[in-house]
Amino acid sequence: MTREVKAVLHRLEEKFSLHNGLHIEAQESFNSCWRELKTLALAFR
């Protein structure tokens, strides 16, 4: 696992607890979590 992937996973772990507590509308507009997921997906390409 590269350092970049480890860093993204660490940031996601911190954000998921906040993200899961939001209402569905707020979850869909919560861009920072989606940006991290996109970075993670691109790292595994």
Per-residue pLDDT of the chain (45 residues), as tens digits, is 788 888 888 888 877 777 677 777 777 765 667 788 888 888 887
Question: In a 10 Å sphere around its CB, with 0-12 CB exposed, 13-18 middle and 19+ buried, how is residue 44 labelled?
Answer: exposed
User: Could you give the CA distance from residue 31 to residue 44 in angstroms, rounded to a whole number?
Assistant: 20
Looking at the chain, how many residues does it have? 45
User: Could you give the CA distance from residue 4 to residue 8 in angstroms, rounded to a whole number?
Assistant: 6
Its domain, for residue 17, covers: 3-43
Domain count, the chain: 1
Q: Which amino acid is at 35?
A: R
With 0.75 as the threshold, say if the pTM is over it: no
